[in-house]
Amino acid sequence: MKQLIEQFSNQLVEAIRIGRGTKLSFATKDFNQVMVSGLGGSGIGGSIVQEYVFDKLKIPFTVNKDYFIPASINATSLFIACSYSGNTEETLQAVGAAQKAKAQIVCITSGGALADFARKHKLNLIEIPAGMPPRSCLGYSLVQLLFVLKKAGLLKTAVEAEIQSAIDRIQKDKGLIKRQAKTLADKLADKQIAIYTIAGREGLAIRFRQQLNENSKVLSWHNVIPEMTHNEIVGWRKSNDNVAVVFCYHTDDFPKNIKRLQVLKKVVKQYNANAHEIIIKGSNYWEKAFYFIHFTDWVSVYLADINQQDSMEVKVIDHLKKEMAKK
């Protein structure tokens, strides 16, 4: 896993090349909505892109993490099925329903049944490199989502320039990122981890949580300001030495939410001395997002080492898939 994380900036470079070289065909570009369907490491890119396009698209952008699709999907819907393996059963059922609803479909995968389905029905297909854990290939799949939106005529921003600045910054700060990630991981050893962030960055918090779950093998949860300051904040009433808290934010986040976070920190620190923060770095959305993803990926594998866990092993998920495959 460390070797895969080490190659993250190179993965982004390759993802841009794949995106540039992909040709897509649509029966219409007069879309009424965009839906990304995917789960786990294949689906989290949709959640992060959803926050990016929140103030950019004039039509709804939603993320589906289930077997089913809404009744609103039709011939003017852009439906993006994302499954790294190509064999995610929820995504396969969902894309089948979208095809029956005559949606405009793009499939992003490394192969498997999803690629076969796309070829059979002559759907748009973007193939990304195979043979890695889905969670280690977020750069490939997420960047393709952005290229799909651009080629569908829905996104006008200069995302390639933002991604390139993220690549440059990650490469420049490579040693610093590792050192700071190791320092934070040391403080999270043998703890359950609460991740608190600010609205507009929930996708990043979910990604961090998922990496802690799969790589570090620890229980973790996340919540978002301002919503959590209307409920979860009240749960901080007694000390719990089994929990560590990580506050994640950028200094240019909405000032009222920053103020809420500062109040929350004071409340939490009354009961928990194991509270830390990640101040997100970067000058544009994708520089911030990819820097944070890369940094927290390193946190998760260093924490796996500290907790004496194999960051590649996901036997319980493999077991679940075998059980689900039984008739």
Domains defined along the chain, listed by start: 2-157 (3.40.50.10490), 174-306 (3.40.50.10490)
Whether 326 is catalytic: no
Helices 202-211 and 40-52 sit at what angle, rounded to 10 degrees?
A: 160
Whether 150 is catalytic: no
Whether 214 is catalytic: yes
Q: How is residue 325 annotated by DSSP?
A: H
The residue from 90, 162, 202, 214 that is catalytic is 214
Q: Is 201 helix (H, G, I), strand (E, B) or coil?
A: coil
Helices 112-120 and 89-100 sit at what angle, rounded to 10 degrees?
A: 10
- β-partners of residue 195 are 222, 246
| pLDDT tens track, the chain, 327 positions | 999 999 999 999 999 999 999 999 999 899 999 999 999 988 999 999 999 999 999 999 999 999 999 999 999 999 999 999 999 999 999 999 999 999 999 999 999 999 999 999 999 999 999 989 988 999 999 999 999 999 999 999 989 999 999 999 999 999 999 999 999 999 999 999 999 999 999 999 999 999 999 999 999 999 999 999 999 999 999 998 899 999 999 999 999 999 999 999 999 999 998 999 999 999 999 999 999 999 999 999 999 999 999 888 888 888 888 888 887
How is the beta sheet containing 275-279 ordered, strand by strand? 220-225, 192-198, 243-249, 275-279
Task: Find all residues with CB under 8 Å of 123, minimum gap 6, and list them.
Answer: 99, 105, 106, 107, 117
DSSP per-residue string spanning 133-198: -GGGGHHHHHHHHHHHHHHTT---S-HHHHHHHHHHHHHHTHHHHHHHHHHHHHHTTT-EEEEEEE
**Taking Cα atoms as reference points, which of 284, 51, 37, 59 lies closest to residue 152?**
59
The residue from 29, 121, 172, 230 that is catalytic is 230
